[in-house]
Amino acid sequence: MTVSSYSAWKIRSAVQVASLVVLFGCTALEPSGSASHEDARVGAAADADAGRSSIDGGRDMDAGQRGDSAVASDSAVTPDSATAPLDSGLTCSASERPCDGACISRDGCCTARDCPSGASCDGNVCGCPTGQHVCGDRCAEDSAPETCGKSCTPCQAPTGGSVACASGACAPSCPSGQQACAGACIAANASCTGQCPANTHDCSGVCIANNSVAGCGTACSACSVPAQSNATCDGTQCGFSCLPNYKRCGNACIAEAACCSNADCQANAACGATGACACASGFKACGNACIPNGACCSDTECQGNATCTAGACQCKNLFRACGAECIPGLGCCSVAECGTGQLCSNHQCSFWCGTQTRAANVAAADYQCMDFDTGLPASPWTYSDAASTKLDTSRAATAPNSLRAAEVENGNGVLTWNFTGATPASSITFAAQISPDAHSNLLPDPVTADLVCLTIGYTHACLSYGFKASILTNDADSNNYTGLYLSWSTNNPSGAAFTEDCALRAPGGGNMDFQAGVWNDTVFKINRSDGSMNVTIGGKTATPVCKGGFDTDTNGQVRYGLYPGWQWAVNYDNVVVSVAR
C-alpha cells in the first residue's frame, strides 16, 4: 500500500470515528428519548457518509458498461497509465516500485503489511477475508451491527430496544410485549403514529437517514455494491466508490493498472475481456508500445553491424547496406564495384585466387594458386619454352586472362614446380579449368600429349590425351584410342623402369574426354597410401582400368602444359595445386 493510499484509509477512519463520537458520545451507547438528540445522531450519520463520499469522490461516476471486445492477440501490454516494461528488468518507472524482483504499481501491495489490518495481499491487490469488508484501515465483519452488510455506519437501535445485523441489513428489536416505532420501543398493542425527523424514514420502527447505505432514500435494505468497493448513498439512490488501488469500470471496480476501454491502451492495441491491453493483429509488443510485426524492437532483431532506430534496422557508422546485410563502407557489394578481372568475395574485391582457401592439412609451402589475372606465375615455377606458354586475354574462365599452351610438332610448352618438404608427401591434387582446342587441329595422327603430370620420388602419373593412338597396355582398343588416359611409370635407379597406360572410362560408358571450346572443371589426384589415381571432369569421376604405386619421398614435381604438342593448343585457368603430407 502506498503512502497516499494509506492516508486515504486514515482519513476515512477519522471521519467514521468522529461519527461514532457524535452518535454515542465518548463512552458507551446511551439510548435517548429526546427528539433533538435523535436529530443530532441522524445528522452526524449523514455528515459521516458525506465526508466519506468526498474522500472517494474522485472515484464516483455514473454507472456505465464495458463496450470494448477482446482483441485476439498473444501480445499483452500494459495500459498507458502503467508503464511497467515487458521485460524482467528491475528498473521501474516513476509510477512503479520494485517488489520481489518485479515492478508493480506504486498503489499496489507487495505484502500484507501494505494492506488494512486483517487484509491479505494477493496479486498485488489487498483483499479482506470472506464475510468482511474494508472500513477505514481495517477489515470489518459484514454481520456486525457496527458495520452491517457493506456499510461502515453502525446500525441504530430504537429507544428502549436493541439492534442486530441480519442478512446484511440492520434488524431492530424491542423487549417482549413491545414494538419498534419511529426509533422507539412502544407497547405492542399501541398505535404507531410516530413521525421520523426530516431526511430520515421509518424502517421497521427505526428512523434511518435517507443517505444511509443501510437504507438509502426510502428503502429499508442495504445498498448492494460490486467487489472491491464501498457503498455510497446520495439520499436518493445507492452508489459505490472503489477501494484504493482500484478504479471504476462500468458497474465494476477493476485494478488501477487494468484497462477499462480502448482509450486506456496505447495506439494499435485494444482492451481485452481480462482487462489487459493486447496488440492488434499485425502488431507486436515493444516495451509499452505496439509496433508493426515487420518493425524491429531492439538491436537483437537486426543483422550484424546494424542497430534498431525508430523501428527500422539501420547500418552502423562506417557500414552500408548490401541487400539484407550491413557491410564495411569500403567493401564491395557486387562485382560491378571491383576492378577488371576481380571478384567480389566476402565483400572484398580480389582476383580469383584471393577467393580460395588453403586446406588445413596443407602447408603454405605446399600450396600454389594461379589465376593468371596479374600475369604469368613466377618462382618457384619454371618454363620449358616461354614462347609456347603465354597469357591469353581473349579467353578466360574468370576474366581477364588464362594461360595458353600452344605448340608445334615436338614442342614442350610446360610449367614445372619442384617441391620438397620435411615429411613424405601423401597425396598431390591438381585442380584447374581446362579448355582444349578442337581435335581437328591435331595433326598428324596418331598423337599423344601429356596435360598434367604429378610425381612423388621416382614414380610419375600423367593425365594424357590420345588421338587415334596405339598406347594402351592390355586394352581392347589400344590400337585406335581417342580420349583421356592415365600413364603411370617409375624410373627408380635402384630398380627396373616400368610404364603402364590406363584407359579412363566415363561413368555412363565410353572413354573420358574433354569438351572442346568450353571450360572443363578438372581434378587429378594421386594417393601414395593406396596407389590410387583419380580423375574428375565436370563432376563425373572416371574409372581407371589400372592402379599405380608411389614412392615414399619428401620430394616431388608438378608439371602442366603440352608435352609434347602437335599443332594443338590447350588453355588453363584457375589452377590450384596442393601437396598433403
How confident is the model over 83-111, as pLDDT tens digits? 333 444 578 887 788 998 888 888 789 99
Q: Which residue's C-alpha cell is 405492542?
A: 188
* Cell numbers for 372: 593468371
Share of the chain above pLDDT 70, in %: 80
Instruction: Please answer whether residues 526 and 456 qualify as being in contact, where contact means their C-beta atoms are separated by less than 8 angstroms.
Output: yes
Q: The whole model's pTM is what? A: 0.49
- Could you give the CA distance from residue 294 to residue 331 in angstroms, rounded to a whole number? 28
Q: Which residues contact 208 (CB under 8 A, 6 or more apart)?
A: 156, 170, 200, 201, 202, 214, 215, 220
In the numeric block, which cell numbers belong to residue 387? 614462347
Segments of 393-458 assigned E as strands: 402-407, 411-419, 427-436, 447-456
Q: Name beta bridge partners: 419.
A: 556
3-state SS of 171-230 is EEECCCCEEEECCEEEECCCCCCCCCCCCEEEECCEEEECCCCCCCCCCCCCCCCCCCEE
CA 415: distance to chain centroid? 56
CA gap 260, 65 in Å, rounded: 9
Catalogue the long-range contacts made by 202-207 (C-beta closer than 8 Å, 24 or more residues apart): 203/170, 204/171, 204/172, 204/180, 205/158, 205/172, 205/174, 205/179, 205/180, 205/181, 206/156, 206/157, 206/158, 206/163, 206/170, 206/172, 206/180, 207/38, 207/42, 207/156, 207/182, 207/183
Pairwise pLDDT comparison (496 vs 460), residue with the higher score: 460
- What's the chain's length in residues? 581
Predicted confidence at residue 545, as pLDDT, reads 67
pLDDT class of 35 with cuts at 50, 70, 90: very low
The alpha carbon of 302 is separated from its chain's Cα centroid by a whole number of angstroms, namely 10
* Residues 70, 67: Cα–Cα separation, whole Å: 10
- Confidence band (pLDDT; 50, 70, 90) for 579? very high
pLDDT digits (tens, 9 = 90+) for 512-524: 999 888 999 999 9
Residue with cell string 477512519: 13
What residue type is 206 in one-letter code? V
- What is the structure's pLDDT at 22? 33
Q: Is the pLDDT of residue 81 over 80?
A: no
pLDDT of residue 12: 41
Helix pair angle (35-55, 3-24), 10° resolution = 170
Asked whether the predicted pLDDT for residue 550 surpasses 50, the reply is yes
The three grid cell numbers given for residue 57, joined into one nine-digit string: 469522490
In angstroms, the CA 397 to CA 357 distance is 19
**Local confidence band at 38 (pLDDT 50, 70, 90 cut-offs):** very low
The set of cell numbers assigned to 574 is 584457375
- For 340, counting Cβ atoms within 10 Å of its Cβ (0-12 exposed, 13-18 middle, 19+ buried), the class is exposed
Q: Is the dihedral of CA 86, 92, 97, 99 positive or negative?
A: positive
The torsion of the CA quartet 270, 274, 276, 281, rounded to 10 degrees, works out to -40
Predicted local distance difference test score (pLDDT) of residue 170: 87
CA–CA–CA angle 73, 79, 84 (5° rounding): 100
Q: What is the rounded distance in angstroms from the CA atom of residue 35 to the CA atom of residue 41?
A: 10
Residue 169: enclosing H or E segment and its boundaries? strand 169-173
**DSSP label at residue 158:** P
Q: Which domains are delineated in the chain?
A: 3-60+140-255 (no CATH), 364-580 (2.60.120.200)
Q: Do 529 and 426 touch, CB atoms closer than 8 A?
A: yes
Q: Which has more pLDDT, 535 or 500?
A: 535
The pLDDT score that the predictor gives to residue 549 is 87
Q: Which residues contact 88 (CB under 8 A, 6 or more apart)?
A: 101, 102
Q: Which three cell numbers stand for residue 313?
A: 534496422
From 336-340, 362-366, 405-409, 521-525, the region with the lowest mean pLDDT: 405-409
Cα separation of 313 and 305, whole Å? 10
Q: Write out the H or E segment, with its range, that includes residue 47.
A: helix 35-55
Q: pLDDT class for 78, splitting at 50, 70, 90?
A: very low
Please provide residue 450's backbone torsions phi and psi, each rounded to the nearest 5 degrees: -85, 135
579: which 3 cell numbers?
Answer: 601437396
Q: What's the confidence (pLDDT) of residue 511? A: 85
Grid coordinates in use for 40? 443530532
d(CA 234, CA 56): 13
* Mean pLDDT for the stretch of residues 45-61: 37
**Residue owning grid cell 552500408:** 320
Give the pLDDT confidence score for residue 443 in this predicted structure.
Answer: 56
User: Mean pLDDT: which of 172-176, 179-183, 190-194, 421-425 is highest?
Assistant: 421-425
pLDDT tens profile 188-199: 777 677 788 889
Distance CA 524, CA 419 (A): 18
Question: Rounded mean pLDDT of the chain?
Answer: 81
Q: Is it true that the peptide bond before 564 is cis, omega within 30 degrees of 0?
A: yes
